[in-house]
Amino acid sequence: MAIRCLDEGIDIPMIENAVILASGSNPRQFIQRRGRILRPYQGKTEANLFDMIVTPPFLEREIWEIERHLIKKELRRFLEFAKLAKNATAAKIILANISQEYGLLMD
């Protein structure tokens, strides 16, 4: 495991599986990471990208709106990944359910 190994400056086109446990909201960062995983390589026909999302519990508290805002930003990033995924339909359904659960409208 390596922290930030998929950021700029590394070339590992043969990678077929990757797990992203933390990601910022910087579009350049997640585009770079996705590009590193999806690069063509001889004999490679696809790549599996597992990008994790954590949602807060439903608690009555003052910071709820901040948490909802963070979830909305994460869901936008996930939706961007999902658009080109082999399992796009299933991923979009899951994201729509999370969005609905937290009372968010995704654009």
pLDDT, one tens digit per residue, over 48-93 is: 988 888 787 776 666 777 788 888 888 888 888 888 888 999 999 9
Give the angle subtended at the CA of 68 by the CAs of 64 and 71, to the nearest 5°.
140
Residue type, 8: E
pLDDT at site 30:
76
Q: Whole-angstrom Cα distance, residue 24 to residue 16?
A: 22
The whole-number pLDDT of residue 28 equals 78
Question: How high is the pLDDT of residue 43?
Answer: 94
- Measured in degrees and rounded to the nearest 5, phi and psi for residue 57 equal -70, 160
CA 94/CA 74 separation, integer angstroms: 13
pLDDT, position 81: 82
User: Distance (Å, rounded) from C-alpha 28 to C-alpha 36?
Assistant: 12
Asked whether the whole model's pTM tops 0.85, one would answer no
